[in-house]
Amino acid sequence: MRQNMAGVNEWFGIGSIVVCKTCYNKEIEGEVLAFDPTTKMLILKCPASSGRASLNDVHIVNLALVSDVQVKKEVNSVPEAPASLNLQRLNSRVRKQIEEKRRLVASLAAGVSPEGQKLFLAISRTIKDVTWQGPNILVFEQITITPPYKLENIRGDSESKAFLHIRKVMEKHAKDQAAVAAAEAAGAHSSPQ
């Protein structure tokens, strides 16, 4: 069924397969996830452009900008109600994310070198108990890393598991930073002049 978009006042059933031709002559085919007849917005789930079967692309299509629509498979059944959301769990996740962002902003506001900020971020990816104490990085409230943030700048009980773990994180960070620097240097030397 071809539909001229000049007078769309239909609705699209959730689960229907639809093909839309955009104003750029691009065809988008996918399963209807949602349709708002008031705003003429259609949300389609399409196969992933990356080619991975486990992923999908989601397109939000403004039907006011579509030249035509073809319904390939129509679904008229009433979809089952979505599962209720656990608002307490969602609020907890939001609070944790806000707390995490505040910690990261504090690292930028601490007025330390970019190397110190990169190390702080590298440590905070795996360890949540990391804060700034002036220009120093404090991990587990027992390990301190002072500027210039090298392996020899770790202070604490050198036999503790925490110290050894932080040392490994710093060694990996140093290797990663050296690899990035080497790649940038190789790119700069290989570019034509």
Q: What is the pLDDT of residues 166-193, one digit of tens each?
A: 999 999 999 998 898 888 888 766 555 5
For residue range 104-150, what is the model confidence (pLDDT) as tens digits?
777 666 678 888 888 988 898 888 888 888 888 999 999 999 989 99
- Residue 27's DSSP bridge partners are 21
C-alpha gyration radius of the chain: 27
The pLDDT of residue 105 = 75
The mean-pLDDT minimum among 29-38, 71-80, 129-138 falls in 71-80
Domains detected in the chain: 2-73 (2.30.30.100), 97-188 (no CATH)
> N- to C-terminal Cα distance for the chain?
58
Spatial separation of the C-alpha atoms in residues 116 and 173, rounded to whole Å:
11
Collapsing DSSP states into helix, strand and coil, what is residue 59? strand
Q: At what angle do helices 114-126 and 161-190 cross, to 10 degrees?
A: 130
- Single pTM value for the model: 0.49
Spatial separation of the C-alpha atoms in residues 36 and 31, rounded to whole Å:
15
Query: Is the Cβ–Cβ distance between 120 and 100 less than 8 Å?
Result: no
The pLDDT of residue 175 = 93
> Strands 143-145, 136-139: parallel, antiparallel or unpaired by DSSP?
antiparallel
Distance of CA 50 to the CA centre of its chain: 16
**Number of other CB atoms surrounding residue 35 within 10 Å:** 20
pLDDT greater than 90 at residue 74: no
Distance of CA 192 to the CA centre of its chain: 35
